[in-house]
Amino acid sequence: MCGIVGAVVAAGDVLPEVLTGLRTLEYRGYDSAGVAVLAGGLLEVRRKSGRISALEAELADRRLPSALQAVGHTRWATHGKPADRNAHPHRDQDNQVVVVHNGIIENFVELRAELEKEGVAFSSETDTEVIANLLARQLRATGDLHAALLGAIDQLHGAYALVAMAVGHEGEMVAARRDSPLVLGVGAGGRFAASDMPALLHLTRDFLFLENGETCVFTAESHRIFDAAGKLVSRDLAKCDWTPEQAEKGGYPHFMLKEIEEQPDVLARTAFDRFRDSTGDVTFEDGFQLTDEDLRRAARLRFMAMGTSFHAALLGQQMTAELARLPGETLNASEFLYSPRLAEETAITVIISQSGETADSLRAMREVKERGGTVIGICNVQGSTLAREADHLILTHCGPEVGVASTKAFVGQLTALYLLAIRIGRAREELDLDKGLALLRDLRAVRTQLDPLFEPETHVAIRAAADFLAPKSSCLFLGRGLLFPVALEGALKLKEISYIHAEGYPAGEMKHGPIALIDTDFPVVVVATPGRAYKKTLSNMEEVKARGGRLLAVACREDEKVAALADFILPVPSVPELLAPIVNVVPLQLLAYETALVLGCDIDQPRNLAKSVTVE
Ligand code: F6R
């Protein structure tokens, strides 16, 4: 998705800071990049399709003057193909106003036609150029930049986060958001706006989060936020506990590998401060206010999310059913609107999202709330829309996830879901103190049990499997029970970063169709650790073997039965069944990573993907 940075400072040249911010936003996925400065009463723009390095080459050729205010943008094409002319920033035809924008303006065709009738000539196919011209028209009428912004956004239907500046309004910037994220950073020498916090961590740790419909006017020394009705809003600064280093590669070749290896710490940070071994009680922070009585009253739990978070949701449902005996359902958030309307008063809905900005998940959350339901958000980004709008919040403490393929967020989510299931189980008296304590001790132990997964011996085994997989065009992932969502997640990781077609199936479903794919040399990855479905999974492996298929198995190191069947073993330590997904997903993440590496793919920014999908 597009990334935005806007900055105004009291002294110095702000452009290098904007470029640093843009580089941090690269992870969101983009096809072009650009910057604009306002200096000496003139707006100047440089923009290029391709990587930020192409923009930097352009800036080296055609230098921009030193400036106190600038905007920058990474574009992920929606209206108009990736091309220099479609890259942001966009100006009005008289070069008086410049805008960077993330989102989709649904009525842009009508607005563009109206402006064309007035004689406006467009130089791009984007919806954003329409915004720049609307803003310029309003500015001519009012002479006030904020009033012009309000007049312009009043005409927009759709989603936007935007930052603008204008000739004649030096030192001032304006911003607005509706259904696309935007944060304001407050530093000693300036004010900054960006799509997310990591883009500004090199400048400040103090943030304000704009709510939907709000606008903002900021200078280097001050900022004012207005609600949708134009009324001044007062808002406290929030301190971000992420560090700039967490958003850097730190010596790793890829963010994805760094983030996979951070998972033991993610588990510890997400869980260990939330329970005491002595009392067995799980407590979440102030954002979570549901009482034992509330949890006892719930008749069912609903889990909703997208992508990797959806796979975590499937596991959350199984964990809660098991530990709290509470029936549940899991829905892909984008399907919620089309599902039957059930009573919300007796249900609790858990919405899971790493970014807290996924449009489908937010839409589902708002719909549940509108229907009178209660929402628990499980989210990694403090201040994100989900974190602010959910009735109750459990933060996963993963630190910023930069790699487009989600890894550590999954482990953070599973850890939070496990704690939630215990919390509900204890409240509903389905778990006694001893059982609760034992479950928490199991979780604590997993942190160190993950260590062998990062040792050279495991790497050798995974690398051999990756070498085998890399030339293949298609692959099945199988698992049963708690291991089925792990198979789904393994398949998703492989396809998104190596582009090898991969499908996750419940192992029992294989005989009902997918088995037709299996011939000599066809790869099947099976998640085959001990548990209630172990024996049946072994039978499925036999079926693959009998047809000449090649088996790659996630299995316990000492498991001789699986070793006798599989061509490649991805070894994992033995852990209690409910926690096995946390452990078993790691070799599958590494398998995807190593396979993509063999194939020379762009691991951190796979084609067509965006880190945070902010449009439905
Ligand atoms: C997969 C991936 C996506 C996200 C999905 C939801 O590796 O990154 O499938 O999991 O877009 O994102 P969040 O969790 O931010 O709502």
Distance in angstroms (rounded) separating the CA atoms of residues 391 and 381: 16
Q: How far is the CA of 245 from the centre of ligand 1 (A)?
A: 23
Q: How far is the CA of 243 from the centre of ligand 1 (A)?
A: 22
**Which ligand 1 atom lies nearest to the CA of residue 405?**
7
> Which residues participate in catalysis according to the annotation?
2, 611
Structure tokens at 29: 């996925």
pLDDT band at 232 (very low <50, low <70, confident <90, very high): very high
Determine which residue's CA is closest to atom 9 belonging to ligand 1.
307
**Over residues 290-311, mean pLDDT:** 96
Q: Would you call 190 helix, strand, or coil by DSSP?
A: strand
Determine which residue's CA is closest to atom 16 belonging to ligand 1.
353
Asked if residue 100 has pLDDT above 80, the reply is yes
Give the CATH architecture of domain 452-599. 3-Layer(aba) Sandwich (3.40)
**Which ligand 1 atom lies nearest to the CA of residue 493?**
7
Q: What pLDDT score was predicted for residue 393?
A: 97
**Which ligand 1 atom lies nearest to the CA of residue 496?**
7
Note the CATH number of domain 255-449. 3.40.50.10490
2-247 and 255-449 have identical folds: no
Determine which residue's CA is closest to atom 3 belonging to ligand 1.
307
The ligand 1 site (C-beta within 6 Å) comprises: 306-309, 353-355, 358, 361, 405-406, 492, 496, 612-613
Q: How far is the CA of 306 from the centre of ligand 1 (A)?
A: 6
pLDDT of 561-594, one tens digit each? 999 999 999 999 999 999 999 999 999 999 999 9
On whether the CB atoms of residues 465 and 568 are closer than 8 A, the answer is yes
Length of the chain: 616
Q: How far is the CA of 148 from the centre of ligand 1 (A)?
A: 36
- Strand 190-194 and strand 42-49: the pairing is unpaired
What is the 8-class DSSP label of residue 47? E
pTM score: 0.88
Alpha helix segments (H runs only) across 39-197: 52-61, 108-117, 128-142, 145-153
Q: How far is the CA of 345 from the centre of ligand 1 (A)?
A: 29
Distance in angstroms (rounded) separating the CA atoms of residues 386 and 354: 10
Residue with tokens 């910037």: 173
Q: What pLDDT score was predicted for residue 4?
A: 95
Break the chain into its structural domains and give their ranges. 2-247, 255-449, 452-599
**Which ligand 1 atom lies nearest to the CA of residue 404?**
8
pLDDT of 266-289, one tens digit each? 999 999 989 877 777 899 988 999
Percent of the chain at pLDDT > 70 equals 100
Determine which residue's CA is closest to atom 4 belonging to ligand 1.
307
- Longest CA–CA span in the chain (Å) reads 79
In 339-387, the DSSP E strands lie at: 347-353, 374-379
| Gyration radius of the chain's alpha carbons | 25
**Which ligand 1 atom lies nearest to the CA of residue 610?**
11
Determine which residue's CA is closest to atom 5 belonging to ligand 1.
307
Pocket test for ligand 1, best of 350, 406, 496 (most atoms within 8 A of CB): 406
pLDDT of 592-611, one tens digit each? 999 999 999 999 888 877 77
Pocket test for ligand 1, best of 613, 614, 615, 616 (most atoms within 8 A of CB): 613
Pocket test for ligand 1, best of 310, 352, 358, 615 (most atoms within 8 A of CB): 358
Q: How far is the CA of 405 from the centre of ligand 1 (A)?
A: 7
Q: How far is the CA of 124 from the centre of ligand 1 (A)?
A: 31
Range 178-210 burial, b when 16+ CB lie within 10 A, else e: bbbbbbbbbbeebbbbbbbbbbbbbbbbbbbbb
pLDDT of 515-544, one tens digit each? 999 999 899 999 999 999 999 999 999 999
Determine which residue's CA is closest to atom 11 belonging to ligand 1.
307
Provide CB contacts within 8 A for 485, sequence distance 6+.
Answer: 311, 312, 314, 315, 318, 479, 581
Looking at 3.60.20.10, 3.40.50.10860, 3.40.50.620, 3.30.390.50, the CATH number of the domain 2-247 comes to: 3.60.20.10
CA distances from 488 to 251, 481, 565 (A): 30, 12, 22
What is 81-108 written as a DSSP string?
-S-GGGSSPEE-TTS-EEEEEEEEETTH
Q: Which amino acid is at 208?
A: L
pLDDT band at 243 (very low <50, low <70, confident <90, very high): confident
Percent of the chain at pLDDT > 90 equals 82
